[in-house]
Amino acid sequence: MKADVYADGAATRLEGPLLFLKRTVDVGLHEAVEVEDGQGKVRLGRISAIDDDNLTVEVLESTSGLGLEDTRVRFLGEPLTFAVGPELLGRIFDGVGRVIDDGPPVAAEKTLRIDGLSINPAARESPADFIETGISTIDVMNSLVRGQKLPIFSGAGLPHDQLAIQIAHQARLRKSSRQASKEDEFAMVFVAIGVPYDSAERFRSAMEASGALEHTLLFLNLASDSSTQRLLCPRYALTAAEYLAFDQGKHVLVLMTDMTNYCEALREVSASHGEVPSRKGFPGYMYSDLATLYERAGSISGVSGSLTQLPILTMPSDDITHPIPDLTGYITEGQIVLDRELDRADIYPPVKVLPCLSRLMKDGIGEGFTHRDHPDLANQLYAAYAHAVHVRVLASVVGREGLTETDRRFLDFGDLFETEFIHQQGMRSLEAGMEIGWRLLRSLPASELFRLNDRQIDEYIKVSDEDGEKA
């Protein structure tokens, strides 16, 4: 129950989004507050730091117009919460859970704390079951598994926004022999963090035009919004996703872009607090802070729903060793990497296959999930492309004429792999992607396909001799 506890004239300092108060009342950390200025305008905030004499309040909206003498703070006696209900899907919210789609308020079934609760490790189930994204480089070679957290590492100017919209439109939970699934059991939560207004409108219009909004919950946090609001946006979104997954029994895919904006906001707020910076100026607790978001993905034993995450982050200066991608990689279960050279070559999506990895792929593909020969095909495509990239480097030194016939075939395979397998227009099913993979492998000598067994070579490659000529 909300408590009518006020602090009048307690403000001592205003620095960016932070309001500093004398500690005149007994309150708790992360308690929600309402900050009222002299004109009666009320702003939402939360207590972010407490010591013996002072309180620090993170104001979630612009602090313009706030004065120290006439500011009144009301302590609500509870943490920030989000009202959720069965009618969430199809709605659009801002970064702090306010409806912005001109529709009526959501009929609330319950009110949940936005900081969520950790899944009991003893109750957590291992991720399983294949989620089809319609992107061959993911579905065939770096498969996404229900309950997994698999980030996409991009660079400034690369088409990660386009890829995010495409996945939101195409993604679906694939039926397996283990578990029957229905179309209405799958839902999307799309979270835009710190994006320009035109990008937010592009997300909104693309969702509406494609029909994806019907099974999607959309959160739009603008670059013009406060940095403190940016820190809370994914928490509101994940709270809604947890409700859909663990209360409504849906399999929810959460797509968050751009997590780099979140980390930059974390650095900004940390600096305002006067905290000692760590690598690149980011706070030393950034790892644990990111973990509080990513570890909300998973499945719970005895609960039919699941929560899967596809966070997108842009690597500053395309540096994969930067603290943001580096720490993200320690928490999550692999990565999908976008490449600037492929983008310049008009390859879309520009997925750089070799550094990509899905650590849980083996738990969602193969017999009973996708296809019996899916794992071996993925391994062979990876090995063949890796060899092709090596040969490409060699050819840059000795020329094509200096290569062996086998190496020239690998060189051609690498080009075809990029233009026909990696590059795609629109949705491509898993089966279509696998068929392209098998077809490209037929251009190589059967003797070089070490990751395939004799049955697979006879069934899919169909060669008449060791040179790889088609029968």
The owner of tokens 């319609």 is 134
Q: What is the pLDDT of residue 176?
A: 57
- Domains of the chain, earliest start first: 5-79 (2.40.10.170), 82-363 (3.40.50.12240), 374-461 (no CATH)
Query: Alpha carbon 155 to chain centroid distance?
Result: 15
Alpha-carbon torsion (71, 73, 79, 82), positive or negative: negative
Entry pTM = 0.92
Q: Residue 145's closest CA among 383, 302, 334? A: 334
Q: Residues of the chain with pLDDT > 90: what percent? A: 72
Spatial strand order in the sheet of 144-145: 144-145, 130-132, 172-173
Q: Which long-range contacts (CB under 8 A, 24 or more apart) does 45-48 make?
A: 45/19, 45/73, 45/228, 46/79, 46/80, 48/18, 48/269, 48/273
Summarize pLDDT for 362-396 with one digit per residue, the tens: 999 999 899 999 999 999 999 999 999 999 999 99
Contacts of 424 (CB under 8 A, 6+ apart): 135, 136, 348, 349
* Matching residue, tokens 């490409």: 392
Q: Which residues of the chain have pLDDT under 50?
A: 1, 177-178, 180, 463-471
Nearest to 181 by CA among 304, 363, 364, 303: 304
